[in-house]
Copies of this chain bind each other. A is one copy, B any other.
């Protein structure tokens, strides 16, 4: 239990990630396998692992790479996928999820990673880490495979909140810009606002307000605003950051995942159709692996909760070792780039600008 301290005292360039070992569909073994994979790839990475101490000690002991790099924090309870967020908020103190966030809250770790229940994780993050000054609604951002040179676009919100008014959407634009700058290394990300039809007369009234507000903050926010975009632009190259409310974003995300999965199944069926097509499938194997690598959701695993005092990465509930390792890699990159502090600074500076620039117009009213 003292191992981590030794490491930390050895040098300040070490990065500590707080990891929830429980709550994923594949149990703690997949999580421990995932973090050892990450430990191999990134020597400056340490972990605080949360869950039942006896079980976790055995799993960690089997991985030599984790020796001296993984502190275990005991937590008896687990948040299940069926638990309601409100229950977890009231009765969840003994859960591994609560403990995972606590390590970020008290500064022991920079970023938290969990494969557990999204609703509960967001609710706990809100009460334990609290919202950044100036942020009304936190958002969940994901990376979406795209035609852009960087290979991915940022989309938010994909489900933190089902509503978003014009000012929330501006904050999403700012937070998404910060994420694209730190996660995708884009200096001046192009931001698009999701709508139906790209003409200005179309779409909902609140989107017109958001359009004007995001356009007005373009230079201050250091993004380029391309205006309204459509569903087809999410995997496209018209912009790098797609801004929308959490209802629309969640439907789009799941529709995209479902469509990709359906095409994958059709592809397998097409290759299994006849003896000749099965021979073709053997020869096409490396091409197929190349394709799979580009769209494999395990390789872009991790929704990032933005707008809180601390960064939380939500991994897929069904993540295997590679999935967990991808989520940890993302957490590591965000921690190392000082993303949390930069995001806070940006939101704070622009929150002032809004007030000044917009004067009387009360955009806080819902």
Task: Say how many copies of this protein the assembly contains.
Answer: 2
Bound CA–CA A7/B248 (angstroms): 50
Per a CB cutoff under 8 Å, which of B145, B231, B258, B267 touches A262?
A: B145
A251-B276 in contact (CB<8A): no
Among the stretches A39-47, A51-59, A284-292, the one at the interface with B is A284-292
Overall SS of chain A's interface = helix
Residue of B nearest to A278 (CB): B287
Asked if A130 is at the interface (CB within 8 A of a chain B CB), the reply is: no
Interface size class of A (residues with CB under 8 A): 35 or more
B273-A287 in contact (CB<8A): yes
A273-B252 in contact (CB<8A): no
Task: Convert A214-257 into 0s and 1s, putting 1 for each residue whose CB lies closer than 8 angstroms to a CB of B.
Answer: 00000000000000001111111000000010111011111111
Min distance, Cβ A276 to any Cβ of chain B, angstroms? 7
B254-A256 in contact (CB<8A): no
Chain A residues within CB distance 8 Å of chain B = 84, 119, 145-147, 159, 162-163, 194, 196-197, 199, 201-204, 230-236, 244, 246-248, 250-263, 265-267, 270-271, 273-274, 276-277, 279-281, 283-288, 290-291, 294-295
Task: List 18 additional A-B contacts (Cβ < 8 Å) besides A84-B199, A284-B284.
Answer: A119-B202, A162-B196, A162-B203, A196-B247, A231-B253, A231-B255, A231-B257, A231-B258, A232-B258, A234-B259, A235-B259, A255-B256, A259-B259, A260-B263, A270-B287, A271-B284, A280-B284, A280-B286
